[in-house]
């Protein structure tokens, strides 16, 4: 296991070493940002539910002005799996979520 992070909305997101390697092939800039990806999952500035997939969440962590690190996780049967991580200059559309909002 590469990492296992408890999110503030009560479920754990896991990432294997092999999956992390596949992720950084697609987004090589994320290799040096692993700690920020973990921080985005553990203590995000914003959480949004995907507008396309109800079991996919986007965890945003501001890196600098108008720049976020995004950790994307899928939640199935109470388990969470990291499916993507990238940097963005805009928060995607989707329903905002967080502690106390009756999430999933």
Domain count within the chain: 1
pLDDT of residue 26: 95
Q: Report yes or no on 103 lying in a domain.
A: no
Q: Report yes or no on 97 lying in a domain.
A: no
DSSP 8: T
Tell the residue number behind the tokens 């940097």, with chain if given: 87
Q: Yes or no: say if 47 and 71 are a contact pair by the CB < 8 Å rule.
A: no
pLDDT averaged over consecutive 10-residue blocks of the chain (104 residues)? 95 96 95 96 95 93 92 92 95 70 41
pLDDT of residue 94: 74
Tokens of 80: 């969470």
Q: Report yes or no on 98 lying in a domain.
A: no
75-93 CB burial, b ≥16 within 10 A, e <16: beeeebebbbbbeeeeeee
């Amino acid at each position: 296991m590469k990492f296992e992070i408890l999110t503030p909305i009560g479920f754990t997101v896991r990432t294997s070493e092999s999956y992390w390697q596949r992720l950084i092939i697609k987004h090589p800039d994320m290799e040096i940002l692993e700690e920020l990806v973990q921080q985005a999952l553990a203590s995000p500035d914003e959480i949004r539910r995907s507008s396309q997939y109800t079991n996919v969440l986007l965890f945003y962590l501001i890196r600098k002005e108008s720049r976020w690190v995004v950790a994307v996780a899928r939640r199935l049967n109470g388990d969470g799996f990291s499916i993507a991580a990238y940097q963005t200059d805009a928060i995607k559309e989707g329903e905002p979520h967080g502690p106390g909002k009756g999430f999933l």
